[in-house]
Amino acid sequence: MPRNRKTRFGASITRRDFVNGMAAGAGAALAAGALAAPGGSAPDPLALSLGADWYGYGGVGPYRHSHGNSPEVVEAAHRVRDRRIPAGFDQLDPAEEFDLVIVGGGMAGLGAAFEFSRTRRSGQTCLVMDNHPMIGGEAKENEFLVNGQRLIAPQGANGFFVPEAAADLSEARGDPYYYAALGIPREFAYPRWPEQMKPLKFCRDNYGYLVAGLQRNTSVGHFFGAAGDGSGAWAVDMFEQRLAGAPLPEASRRALLDWFNSGAARRFDSPEQARRALDTMSYEQFLRNELALGEEGIRYADLFLASACGLGSDCVSAYAAWQLPMPGLFGPIPPDARRVSFPGGNSGFVRHFLKRLIPDAIEGGTNFEDLITRPIRSEALDRPGQPVRMRTRATALRVSHDGPAEKAGSVLVIYERNGKYRAVRARAVVMATGSWMNPHVVDDMPPSYREACAKFLHAPFLVANVALTNWRFLYELGITAAIWDREEGGFGFTCNIRNPMHVGGYRPPLDPGQPTVLSFYTPFHSPGLDPAAQVALGRAELLGVSYPQYEARIVRQMTRLFARSGFDPAVDVAGLILNRWGHAYSVPYPGFYGGANGSAPRDTLRKNYGRIAFAHSELDGLQHYGPAADEGRRACQQLANAL
């Protein structure tokens, strides 16, 4: 596809911006032809190196060099996996000593650091190291400047329900605990949609429009395209209209409505009872075998399940679907449940943690506006003398006890930073990283832990944020979110604009003639294939498609959907940021929670051995900020005697 920079993104983005953050001297771009055909085995993307045009434009502000997995992170992780590290790299004397080292600066690592700082004795110190240029893991933000308007959008984790206030902080866990402990506000400001305009409803995050019960809070358009001929029809708010405008055969219409409206078909006295009954089957098996529901509902459920868990109904445990909750297992979520999203999504939580742990890590004061909208000061993160330090661009390569785990008095951590190997010694280590990484790094990990790690399955995910100069083409259709069937060569399944939270002086407009961000949350699922093959194929695509190739696909998809309502890429698109997450989600497959007998790999990993404990949101099965931070808190508490 010929590339025309001017028509894609306008003149304000220069070639230099466009290739920011790329790995200098990286190998040739990967051809799209490197991808396996569906049903075939995926090529090993790691045998390839990422091309100079892989990472692409990163926006403005401090996160412009850290959007999704950076090429350096991908390549270093694969060197670790393949043991492509020079012999003798670990023959180093530690230059520094800490009481606690936390590997992984996502929500779990920050939860561990928060617990450390709350309970530490005078003089105790902690180092958080993360391989990305910015702290936050999957909870980071993108920033654009479009016609003078600042726009902030999530790179991944984005939404949450405002939790009940915690009555007793000492007993609280998960979301209510962090909400209270970090002092997060409960009321937020949003722009009002003017009454003189066509009535429109807006999602406040990037998920709600996919969820039965919440969907009615958004003007959702379903696009029904006739394969290949460029035509198609929109059905707006189709579930509210009982599919009246949807061009579907009667049988499909009935199957879809039956699924969407099926409330709690099974009742359980406790989560334990639900787990034993439901974790033995996939959500698809539950719908087919227990509710005799047809294909249409199952495939529709894939949209949300794959967006929230990485794979669809055929791979996700019915118990996970019960927890989410999904139709057939629960009544719809009350539409007044307050689901919101900070401007940068869950980076808002990261920012609250940072301010608590290192008070000058963010410019300004402790008020919500400064925390959410002011720049992170990377120079403040890693200064000698601080009780908690944070080191970015640092990949842990080898972690092992100094001697037998049960007797050792310390742990040695070897890491790579800016091409140099370094060592630190710690009294204890929290591995706030996932099971795709830990067995390659934690050298003296017992065999039972290795076996447990091998049982996790991680799915990739792509968040593409498209900055728009205006969104008249959506207004024209009367929608703020779109859902479509993917066609050969197409891109994505869904996209939406949010009603943007206003925070102090950060006040993005809610006006079709003004800029906004259109977010495509894009899973890689291939229903029917073996789950391992699905994630391998997905990762091969995620790593194998260059930025210009994705750019072309996204513009083509938008043209297919919106050209007839006036979309013109040359005028309407101001910028595109790709956030690629290679191991975005741990898939909660049937049996993940222990199935009928109750024994699960995560139980092994939730126990420390010696001075090393594991914490990552993967252990919860449904990745979410509160439980993620709780895993870190638990890991830190387990090591209290070692500190």
Q: Minimal distance in Å, beta carbon 440 to ligand FAD?
A: 8
Site for ligand FAD in 590-619 (CB under 6 A): 616-617
Of residues 190 through 219, those in contact with ligand FAD by CB under 6 A are 207
Distances (CA, A) of 447 to 214, 604, 622: 45, 11, 26
Nearer to ligand FAD, 8 or 440 (CB): 440
* 3-state SS, residue 15: helix
CB of 147 to ligand FAD, least distance (A): 28
Q: What is the DSSP letter of 62?
A: G
Q: Which is nearer to ligand FAD, 105 or 176 (CB)?
A: 105
List the one residue from 13, 30, 48, 139 that touches ligand FAD (CB under 6 A): 139
Distance CA 408, CA 611 (A): 8
- The piece of 49-57, 126-134, 406-414, 545-553 that touches ligand FAD (CB under 6 A) is 126-134
DSSP code, position 36: P
Part in contact with ligand FAD (CB under 6 A); list of ranges 100-108, 227-235, 261-269, 478-486: 100-108
Q: Which is nearer to ligand FAD, 280 or 617 (CB)?
A: 617
Three-state SS letters, 335-399: CCCCEECCCCCCHHHHHHHHHHHCHHHECCCCCHHHHHHCCECHHHCCCCCCCEEEECCEEEEEE
Q: What is the smallest separation between the CB atom of 399 and ligand FAD, expressed in angstroms?
A: 9
Q: How far is the CB of 497 from ligand FAD (least distance, A)?
A: 16
Q: Please select the residue that binds ligand FAD; options are 49, 131, 313, 323, rule is CB under 6 A.
A: 131
Query: Treating both helix axes as pointing N-terminal to C-terminal, what angle do 625-638 and 174-181 enclose, rounded to 10 degrees?
Result: 80
Selection from 71, 53, 24, 48 nearest residue 393 by Cα: 71
> E strands, 155-281, where?
160-161, 220-225, 232-236
Query: In the window 435-464, what residues touch ligand FAD (CB under 6 A)?
Result: 437, 441, 461, 463
138 lines the binding site for ligand FAD (CB under 6 A)? yes
The string over 327-348, giving b where at least 16 C-beta atoms fall within 10 Å of a residue's C-beta and e elsewhere, is: bbbbebbeeeeebbbbbbbbbb
Element (H, E) at 129: strand 126-129
Enumerate residues 31-90 that contact ligand FAD by CB under 6 A: 73
Residue in 70, 142, 317, 346 binding ligand FAD, rule: CB under 6 A: 346
Q: Which of 48, 103, 274, 442 binds ligand FAD (CB under 6 A)?
A: 103
Q: Which of 109, 297, 544, 575 binds ligand FAD (CB under 6 A)?
A: 109
The stretch near ligand FAD (CB under 6 A) out of 228-236, 284-292, 433-441, 506-514 is 433-441
| Count of positions on this chain that bind ligand FAD (CB under 6 A) | 40
Q: Using an 8 Å Cβ cutoff, are 74 and 582 in contact?
A: yes
Least distance to ligand FAD from the beta carbon of 164, Å?
16
Are the beta carbons of 135 and 324 closer than 8 angstroms?
no
Residue 605 CA: distances (Å) to CA of 310, 379, 589 = 21, 34, 17
In the list 219, 386, 395, 604, the residue contacting ligand FAD (rule: CB under 6 A) is 395
Applying CB under 6 A, which part among 45-53, 151-159, 251-259, 526-534 lies near ligand FAD?
151-159
User: Which residue number, 157 or 255, has a Cβ lying nearer to ligand FAD?
Assistant: 157
Q: Is 625 in the site for ligand FAD (CB under 6 A)?
A: yes
Interface residues for ligand FAD in 568-587 (CB under 6 A)? Answer: 581, 584-585
SS3 of 283-351? HHHHHHHHCCCCHHHHHHHHHHHHHHHCCCCCCCEHHHHHHCCCCCCCCCCCCCCCEECCCCCCHHHHH
Least distance between ligand FAD and beta carbon 178 (Å) = 11
CA distance 615 to 631: 5
Nearest to 265 by CA among 288, 238, 240: 288
Binding segment (CB under 6 A) for ligand FAD, from list 19-27, 60-68, 97-105, 237-245: 97-105
Q: To the nearest whole angstrom, how small is the minimum distance from the Cβ of residue 394 to ligand FAD?
A: 6
User: Do residues 433 and 454 make contact, with C-beta atoms less than 8 angstroms apart?
Assistant: no
Near ligand FAD by CB under 6 A: residue from 433, 469, 470, 534: 433
Cβ proximity to ligand FAD, 602 vs 616, nearer residue: 616
Which residue lies nearer to ligand FAD by CB, 221 or 523?
523
Report the distance separating Cα 302 and Cα 312, nearest Å.
4
- Contact segment (CB under 6 A) with ligand FAD among 120-128, 155-163, 234-242, 492-500 equals 155-163
The candidate with the shortest Cα–Cα distance to 352, out of 343, 506, 617, 361, is: 361
Distance CA 129, CA 27 (A): 28
Does position 623 interact with ligand FAD (CB under 6 A)? The reply is yes
As a three-state string, the secondary structure of 483-523 is EECCCCCCCCCEEECECCCEECCECCCCCCCCCEEEEEEEE
State whether the Cα torsion 477-480-485-490 is positive or negative: positive
Tokens of 114: 């928060």
Strands (E), 159-311: 160-161, 220-225, 232-236
**Does residue 238 interact with ligand FAD by CB under 6 A?**
no
Distance separating alpha carbons of residues 553 and 182, to the nearest angstrom: 41
CB of 131 vs ligand FAD, minimal distance in Å: 4
The contact mask relative to ligand FAD for 248-287 (x = CB under 6 A, - = no) is ----------------------------------------
Among 157, 184, 413, 468, binds ligand FAD (CB under 6 A): 157
Among 106, 176, 492, 515, binds ligand FAD (CB under 6 A): 106
CA-based nearest residue to 207, from 502, 576, 520? 520
Nearest to ligand FAD of 158, 608 (CB atom): 158
Choosing from 222, 299, 624, 633, the residue that interacts with ligand FAD (CB under 6 A) is 624
- What's the closest the beta carbon of residue 161 comes to ligand FAD, in angstroms? 10
Binding site for ligand FAD (CB under 6 A): 73, 103-109, 129-132, 137-139, 156-160, 207, 346, 395-396, 432-433, 437, 441, 461, 463, 521, 581, 584-585, 616-617, 623-625, 628
